Chain A
């Protein structure tokens, strides 16, 4: 996918961290990371298991608040505003910065209700049928489910469930979509559909994707960050990072010498 060819070299920053650390007790999972995420680009976080990439991702929609004992230090800004500042409601943060999880986790309700839930709890007053159709269409699932919207979401295949979770996240009109290894539980064909979808979605959304799969990062992302043991080792345009890494650790990882 030639995503990097079309992307202009610079774009305004939507999320930025300054010396961001996340500590579980006294152990730091993320160590003083400073990174800027450009608007309407796909940014991939890669690195071996336990390198802190998922923890970093969860700082952006304050999901780490739900982990007992997790402490966040440093700054995360969203359009320049401190996400952890006093008076910031994590509920409002999560509405504007959506998330898709590693394992598809649809609610055990109908397909329709899965998509409508987020809109309903956030006080959506528009036409719900239209919103559901629009969200499912954006997630490339509408044609497969339009005749069985009242059916249980659990009857869908794993790949369809994950696209439903994406539709559910899109239904509350976020600006940023966080994806935490969204294809690691899926087969190659379902994975390919999600990757195509990511490519389509970046015209409207900023996407940050955590992945174990370096080929996936190379295929879908404009910029890639390599994390190792809680440190941001290297961050740059995906093409550069994979063809001409600046750091020795990055090269060792992407050539498969560890991780």
Chain B
């Protein structure tokens, strides 16, 4: 045996204990993931069982009715698509432009920090508060009435903070060496942003936009306040028409006592999920397109 060495002997590697800790941690993480997935599967299976039987082309193309078996979701589906399109149209350019200004132009001083803090706070404001704001400003102040336009503008305000923050993060993730390379070639600030920074940030910006818009499509509370209707026997023909959205329709049917309405509510939920999935698919395709050109 060698003589005791106080430095070498002061280690206690305990490989077994550390190995066990590592295995337990891995198991816990897997368990957490499995729990979430399981909950989602159970939820989907339950809704599918209730609603799949009521799904049909007629269900998509019919207006609501007093009779569950004749009722459809045409106005809700059309309203949701209107809201989605208009909200995307307003929020994307506004949000990305704000993020560009904050990241690339704004001086780093007290004012920009104040704006930044406020945006973060606005992201945490309950959606119903935006509904009250929308009612006061768009429906009454600007006299847009209980229209698709007023609803879309309200949801634009609702998702803007989250959209701005995620776009900012995507822009910030572009390495500064890329900006320096462009400037060193005589690029202006706008050429640098437009031709180098934005293309690199676009996948991240699109992901944030999609997540925000998905949230907008699922919102009910602010739209109740701006006047989405529960029973709508028409589809909007223009941005100033009245409207309903799928979550409103689902809420209306769920709150009725008859079981037959609960079944078509489940079917409407399936349609809403399908819309969201299709929408996310478009986002993934767009993102892949941008990532490939790199």
Q: Give residues of chain A (89-126) contacting chain B, Cβ–Cβ below 8 Å.
A: 91-92, 94-95, 98-99, 101, 103, 105-109, 117-118, 121-122
Least CB distance, B251 to chain A, in whole angstroms: 46
Contacts of B182 in A (CB 8 A): 107, 117
CA distance A121 to B196 in the complex (A): 12
Do A107 and B196 have beta carbons less than 8 Å apart? Answer: yes
Tell which of B39-47, B148-156, B185-193 binds the partner.
Answer: B185-193
Do B181 and A95 have beta carbons less than 8 Å apart? Answer: no
Given contacts A101-B180, A105-B180, contact A94 B185 (CB under 8 A): yes
Do A121 and B191 have beta carbons less than 8 Å apart? Answer: yes
Q: Is A172 an interface residue (CB 8 A)?
A: yes
Tell which of A61-69, A205-213, A248-256 binds the partner.
Answer: A61-69
CA distance A20 to B186 in the complex (A): 23
Q: Is B78 an interface residue (CB 8 A)?
A: no
CA distance A154 to B186 in the complex (A): 22
* A118 interface neighbour in B177, B178, B185, B293, Cβ under 8 Å: B185
CA distance A108 to B178 in the complex (A): 9
Given contacts A107-B196, A109-B294, A152-B294, contact A66 B180 (CB under 8 A): yes
* A108 interface neighbour in B180, B187, B191, B200, Cβ under 8 Å: B200
Q: Is B25 an interface residue (CB 8 A)?
A: no
Q: Is A29 an interface residue (CB 8 A)?
A: no
Do A98 and B184 have beta carbons less than 8 Å apart? Answer: yes
Do B184 and A91 have beta carbons less than 8 Å apart? Answer: no
Q: What is the total number of residues of chain A having a CB less than 8 Å from a CB of chain B?
A: 27
Contacts of A61 in B (CB 8 A): 184
Given contacts A108-B200, A121-B195, contact A91 B180 (CB under 8 A): no
Contacts of A169 in B (CB 8 A): 184-185
User: What total of A-B pairs shows CB separation below 8 Å?
Assistant: 64
Could you tell me the dominant secondary structure of chain B's interface residues? helix
Do A121 and B187 have beta carbons less than 8 Å apart? Answer: yes
* B185 interface neighbour in A66, A68, A117, Cβ under 8 Å: A117
Q: What is the total number of residues of chain B having a CB less than 8 Å from a CB of chain A?
A: 19
Do A94 and B181 have beta carbons less than 8 Å apart? Answer: no
Given contacts A121-B195, A152-B294, contact A95 B178 (CB under 8 A): no
Contacts of A168 in B (CB 8 A): 181, 185
* B178 interface neighbour in A63, A94, A107, A152, Cβ under 8 Å: A107
Given contacts A91-B186, A121-B191, A122-B186, contact A68 B108 (CB under 8 A): yes
Q: Is A140 an interface residue (CB 8 A)?
A: no
Do A66 and B183 have beta carbons less than 8 Å apart? Answer: yes
Do A172 and B186 have beta carbons less than 8 Å apart? Answer: yes
Question: In the complex, which of the residues B178, B196, B294 has the most CB atoms of chain A within 10 Å of its own CB atom?
Answer: B294
* B183 interface neighbour in A63, A108, A109, Cβ under 8 Å: A63
Do B294 and A108 have beta carbons less than 8 Å apart? Answer: yes
Do A99 and B191 have beta carbons less than 8 Å apart? Answer: no
Q: Give residues of chain A (128-157) contacting chain B, Cβ–Cβ below 8 Å.
A: 152, 154
Residues of A at under 8 Å CB distance from B? 61, 63, 66, 68, 91-92, 94-95, 98-99, 101, 103, 105-109, 117-118, 121-122, 152, 154, 165, 168-169, 172
- A63-B184, A91-B186, A107-B181 are known contacts; what are 4 more A-B pairs with Cβ within 8 Å? A91-B187, A101-B180, A105-B177, A121-B188
List 18 contacting pairs A-B, 8 Å CB cutoff, sorted by A.
Answer: A63-B180, A91-B186, A91-B187, A94-B184, A94-B185, A101-B180, A101-B181, A105-B181, A106-B181, A107-B182, A108-B178, A109-B294, A117-B182, A117-B187, A118-B185, A118-B186, A121-B186, A121-B195
Closest 9 CB pairs of A and B: A118-B185, A95-B186, A105-B177, A99-B184, A108-B294, A94-B186, A105-B181, A121-B191, A91-B186
